Structure 1
């Protein structure tokens, strides 16, 4: 009997090994099919014709279903009565007076001039107390030495309510530099100076269209 070569034996062993691998693979697939049962899952997922036919048709959803009802418009609240407007002050109710920080001034001391405003009436009233309506004048006899409006800058209006029975005074006084004023000499540093030595001057004031009934006397030294 002829003896086969080593190559023949190797081929036989290779064929046997491949056949064994195929057998193991087939057995493994068979076991997986028995355990996993994929056909059963597919059958459960597919509804039967009878079940589909017996299922009730879903009704068309109501487009308003689930929506909250529209909020009702709130009823308008009754408005409060308007506060009556404050009437303008009248001459018979307003008392205007000149106020100074001293009665006599030593040489070189500048008088500080203010306006006092009193409502003698029984009701509050409105008055324009802005610098546009203010005017302070310093005179010696009939000679007017100084007027606050001659060189006034940026005058303004300010309407305020003057409470009945109340007295108010200018918050910021006006300084008189003891010189003679004029609209032509506002930038002049050498304006004539008012004589001192005990000379008498009178301060007159006006505000909101109302003039002071009296003047305030001051003495310059």
Structure 2
């Protein structure tokens, strides 16, 4: 190894250059990190962008009501392969949800129809063919057809042995008559009074009645 002449600068080794560059790079990284921390501030929530007027209107606007759907008509039953039910094979029965009703409790009235024949058949079981009656003694107090509205025909296929129930209706414990549909009706006697419900579908009437008591 040669010794530098007097007045000549000492040559720096490559290892020293590398150390100096590394120190300079670390100093630069520290400065950049400090600047970023000052601007961002760790732990501070990032503010949400201000919503546009269109977004506010969309969020606060009242929902638009959907159009009332058009009622779906009852499909016509294909009776090509069936015969109309013979009335002698049909059994209609009155149905009650209880045998006695305390004061203020309304009886729910309905009926069932059953095909006792050996083969399936069709029959009109719609509200236009149904009739419920309430009697006591020789007097008829209420008939479902007196003020019935929106009657409809419903031709159904009745399978042998199957009991088909109707939708129940609540009796208001009042007399009925065709001329009282739009006015007040007289409340029937209660306090343990006995009444009888009978049913009919088309030409087929119930062979027995269902008894109940009103209190």
TM-score normalised by length of structure 1: 0.60
Counting matched residue pairs gives: 137
For 2:148, the equivalent position in structure 1 comes to 152
| 1:87-106 correspondence to structure 2 within 5 Å | 87-106=83-102
Show CA shifts across 1:180-215 (max 9, x none).
Answer: 1011111213x1111111110000100132111111
Query: Are residue 184 (structure 1) and residue 150 (structure 2) matched?
Result: no
Q: What secondary structure sits across from 2:81 in the alignment?
A: coil
Query: Are residue 114 (structure 1) and residue 110 (structure 2) matched?
Result: yes
Match of 2:201 among 193, 202, 207: 207
Distance 1:165 1:179 in 2: 35
1:193–1:163: structure 2 CA closer, same or farther, 3 Å change rule? same
Deviation at 1:91, TM superposition (A): 2.0
Pair member with larger Rg: 1
Distance 1:149 1:106 in 2: 26
Unaligned runs of 5+ in 1: 1-82
Structure 1 runs of 4+ with >2 Å offset: none
Q: What secondary structure sits across from 1:107 in the alignment?
A: coil
RMSD of aligned residue pairs (Cα, Å): 1.2
TM-score normalised by length of structure 2: 0.62
For 2:134, the equivalent position in structure 1 comes to 138
